[in-house]
Amino acid sequence: MIILQIIICIIVFLDVTCGMDNVCNSNNCDYIDCNNKNFTMFGDWKCTHIVFLEFIGNNIGASELRKLARYKITYLNLSFNNISNIPNFVFNGTQIDQLFLENNNLSKINADTFHGMAPLKDISLKHNLIKLIDPQSIPKAQIVELSYNKLETINANMFVNISYMNILYLDYNYIKSIDENSFKGFIGFRINLNFNKLRYLCAKSIPAVKIVTLRGNQILVIDRNAFVNITNLYSVDVSLNCIQKRNLLLTEKYIEKDSIQFDNCSSVDIEGNQETNKQITESQCYALDQRTESFTMQPMETDDIHMKFIIYVEIVGILLLIIAIQTVLIIGYRWRVNSISNTVSNDNNGGYIEPTNEYEEINDVVIERESSGYIVPLPAL
């Protein structure tokens, strides 16, 4: 029993010591787990190469990031650390293969935020509040993840070396348009632009990649020269859009089941679009909810008719209810006035008199009444 108490005391002491220091220490250079401990500082690790460093769910100080230049890190996860600002040059000299800064509070990427970093395999900034990206601010990386932010515009100048990039994720932002040559130099494998607010695809707005996904936007028109190099194209997904015109280069042939056959393209998925070969108007476009992964598709025109009908019915119902209430009140009032003590109003002054009873009517008896009309009581015998 005493031994157990000693062990518990030692555990509590060590835990309190770590909590007081707020430092994540570890002697294991292959995998350092510092998750969800409210740490604010990195430890003084006796390593030169760290394979996995997970620092999720803490409150790391931004200045602490400078210590990362001491190590070569294969995988670094700094998600859920309430990071709202990254000082300039803080990653200067770092060698990180995969960097995850997801679910923080970043709203802007400055030109020197990632300055001096060695090329990465993967950088993920998704689930932040990023609205502004300065020119030459996104570091050289093969995979760039910018989904679930607040971006409204995008262009090639944002990237240090867009030609090095292979995959770009821009899903679930607020991108409304892509200007011509916005992705100039991007000749990678894939670009995702799902669930944004795109309405038009202008000439040379889609880079020379193999896979393009534009699912769940509000696209009405695709310019015939929207693709920079259509010969590289392997697959296009424009499903769940409002496509009004598909005057694409090399898309003269339409095949069954709402799909398009490119001469130099293996597949184009247009599932969920309104029409295949017909022109449609914007008012007929399905209403899409871009801010959730699940969304409802209902014709806007039908919705308007239903809504107007419901409003009219409600108004008529309210008016009828008011009329009914007023009628009941009026009838009640009149009944109350005309039914006091079983009397009737028939004197010249509008007063109340007791009605003639059956005995008086049959025997033609005239009974003396008071001035008020009520019968004078007979004197006691």
What amino acid is encoded at 124 in this protein?
Answer: S
SS3 call for 372: coil
User: What are the domain boundaries of the chain?
Assistant: 24-300, 301-338, 341-381
SS3 call for 162: helix
Residue 238: its pLDDT value, please?
Answer: 84
Residue 371: its pLDDT value, please?
Answer: 52
Integer Cα distance of 71 and 342 in angstroms:
104
Residue 50: its pLDDT value, please?
Answer: 93
The dihedral sign for the CA sequence 217, 221, 227, 233:
positive
The CA-based angle 11-12-14, given to 5 degrees, is 65
Q: What is the pLDDT along the chain (381 residues), one digit of tens a residue?
A: 444 443 434 443 343 334 445 888 888 889 999 999 899 999 888 888 999 999 999 999 888 899 999 999 999 999 999 999 999 999 999 999 999 999 999 999 999 999 999 999 999 999 999 999 999 999 999 999 999 999 998 888 899 899 999 999 999 999 998 988 889 889 999 999 999 999 988 888 989 899 999 999 988 888 878 887 777 788 888 888 887 655 454 443 322 233 343 334 445 555 555 543 333 343 334 343 333 333 333 333 444 566 677 787 888 889 898 998 988 888 877 777 665 545 544 555 555 555 555 555 555 555 555 555 555 555 555
Selected from 3.80.10.10, 3.30.70.940, 3.20.20.450, 3.40.50.40, the CATH number assigned to the domain covering 24-300 reads 3.80.10.10
The three state secondary structure string of 312-340 is HHHHHHHHHHHHHHHHHHHHHHHHHHHCH
Integer Cα distance of 95 and 234 in angstroms:
34
pTM of whole model > 0.85? no
